[in-house]
Amino acid sequence: MDFTFDTEQQMLCDSVARFLQNEYDFDARMKLVAAAGGGSAAIWQKFAENGWIAASCPEEFGGFGGSVIDTAIICEQFGRGLVIEPWLGSAVLGLQTLLASDDAEAKTALLPRLCDGSQRIAVAWSETAARGVPNVVATTSKGEGDILRLHGTKTLVLGGVGADAYLVSVRLAGSIDARDGIALCIVEAGAPGLSISPTLLHDGSLAATITLDGANARLLQGDGLRALEAGLGYATCALCAELVGAMERAIEITADYLRTRKQFGVTIGSFQSLQHRMADMVAELELARSMLFVALASQENDEAETRVATLAGAKALITGAARSICAQAIQLHGGIGMTEECAIGHYFKRAVVADALLGGRIVQERICTASLLGELAEAAE
């Protein structure tokens, strides 16, 4: 294992950091939040021009052939800058889910257009009762062959506003939570029977609730759940990396504040109780960063079963750390930390939202527990 950036990775990291510094500072970001549009199309084009969307897509589909580590490097910087663009939903979950599918035709047609930014897709997979469990699918279909008509409601669709097409999970057979009988379909934006209602999230980003009332859909070849879980695994790594960046920046901002804020005639950073709290926060950050590395290693090396359990543990541990560190950061700021104009509260908001995305802590821990119960039962036999 090598924990240091090579030259190309360093260049990628620097280029994202430079963009954030020059074009996406806190004021610019707050203007985008105030506009309530979930980011801007112009910025999306810059993501494409800089090659970031294409970074982890194979060359045969118009990408640069990088690994999940490249995605993580970009996401960590986006986390530092609290980027609200539909990056996670479209550039990571959308692209990687499609890439993981067995539908060569759809991949060849669509992936290059995602990479160059001319199109954007979102994945409509979660439902109210699913709570982030991808095999809980109540959305049904009618019709035969490759063209289906879908009925159901999908929630918390990241990047769902303004997408050109949607990957939708649908139940073809079996009970509501059966692992078999799930397919992915493509629904074009503007299809009759498809309605998109934007849902604003507390961190200023935008998702959508999507209602399918007989909307026309084209079936993707292959096991839908397998492709979806692969995409979700990739997105989990991305979100974990983003949170590591967010925690890191929240701690830096807080350290700056402790060095400048004066009370009782001294900087508050001179108080041991606050110093020790900062030490605990950064120790928790480094544990979380270590867990991110575990997740990235698992994503690169492990078989699906091990990977799913490891990533679930990573999501639970890292979102837990992010909530706790960013909450502490507000506390260390005192009253000013409670205000909208102060950056620190926005880091906490992102941490809270992130827990609910891609399946919350309870669901993730259930996955880890199920995996452990299986292991213990096997050992007993």
Q: Which is nearer to another protein, 196 or 241 (CB)?
A: 241
Q: Is 293 in the site for another protein (CB under 8 A)?
A: yes
Q: Is 75 in the site for another protein (CB under 8 A)?
A: no
Rounded Cα gap, residues 33 and 201, in angstroms = 10
Q: Which residues, numbered 303-322, are part of the site for another protein (CB under 8 A)?
A: 310, 313-314, 316-317
Q: Is 365 in the site for another protein (CB under 8 A)?
A: yes
Rounded Cα gap, residues 252 and 242, in angstroms = 16
Contacting residue, 14, 23, 49, 300, with another protein by CB under 8 A: 300
Residue 140 β-bridge partners: 151
Rounded Cα gap, residues 127 and 12, in angstroms = 36
Binding pattern to another protein, positions 237-256, x when CB under 8 A?
Answer: ------------------x-
**Phi/psi of residue 103, each to 5°?**
-90, 90
Task: Please give the structure tokens belonging to residue 101.
Answer: 């599918």
Q: Which is nearer to another protein, 159 or 233 (CB)?
A: 233
Among 1-9, 105-113, 199-207, 322-330, the segment contacting another protein (CB under 8 A) = 1-9
Task: Please give the structure tokens belonging to residue 360.
Answer: 């919350």
Q: Which is nearer to another protein, 116 or 286 (CB)?
A: 286
Number of residues that bind another protein (CB under 8 A): 52
Contacting residue, 49, 276, 305, 331, with another protein by CB under 8 A: 276
Rounded Cα gap, residues 194 and 86, in angstroms = 20
Q: Is-contact 318 243, C-beta < 8 A?
A: yes
Q: Is 17 in the site for another protein (CB under 8 A)?
A: no
- Nearest 5°: CA angle at 199, between 196 and 204? 135
Cα R_g (the chain), whole angstroms: 21
Residue written as token pair 């506003």: 161
Rounded Cα gap, residues 121 and 119, in angstroms = 7
**Angle, in degrees to the nearest 10, between helices 272-301 and 224-260:** 160
Rounded Cα gap, residues 349 and 129, in angstroms = 24
Q: Is 372 in the site for another protein (CB under 8 A)?
A: yes
- Nearest 5°: CA angle at 198, between 41 and 108? 55
Rounded Cα gap, residues 245 and 288, in angstroms = 11
Q: Is-contact 267 259, C-beta < 8 A?
A: yes
Among 24-32, 125-133, 277-285, 345-353, the segment contacting another protein (CB under 8 A) = 277-285
Residues recorded for the chain = 381
Among 21-29, 104-112, 167-175, 362-370, the segment contacting another protein (CB under 8 A) = 362-370
Q: Is 9 in the site for another protein (CB under 8 A)?
A: yes
Q: Which is nearer to another protein, 280 or 340 (CB)?
A: 280
Q: Is 98 in the site for another protein (CB under 8 A)?
A: no
Contacting residue, 35, 109, 266, 279, with another protein by CB under 8 A: 279
Q: Is 297 in the site for another protein (CB under 8 A)?
A: yes
Contacting residue, 7, 142, 272, 335, with another protein by CB under 8 A: 272
Q: Is-contact 203 38, C-beta < 8 A?
A: no
Contacting residue, 69, 74, 219, 358, with another protein by CB under 8 A: 69
Among 108-116, 176-184, 329-337, 365-373, the segment contacting another protein (CB under 8 A) = 365-373
CA atoms within 13 A on the CB side of 286: 6
**Angle, in degrees to the nearest 10, between helices 344-356 and 224-260:** 160
Q: Is 282 in the site for another protein (CB under 8 A)?
A: yes
Q: Is 266 in the site for another protein (CB under 8 A)?
A: no
| Closest CB 357 distance from another protein, rounded Å | 19
Contacting residue, 146, 280, 305, 340, with another protein by CB under 8 A: 280
| Closest CB 321 distance from another protein, rounded Å | 9
Which helix (H) or strand (E) segment holds residue 363: the answer is helix 361-380
- Burial group, residue 102, by CB count within 10 angstroms (0-12, 13-18, 19+): middle
| Closest CB 59 distance from another protein, rounded Å | 19
Binding site for another protein (CB under 8 A): 1-6, 9, 69, 73, 255, 258-259, 269-270, 272, 274-276, 278-280, 282-284, 286-288, 290-291, 293-294, 296-297, 300-301, 310, 313-314, 316-317, 365-366, 368-369, 371-373, 375-377, 379-380
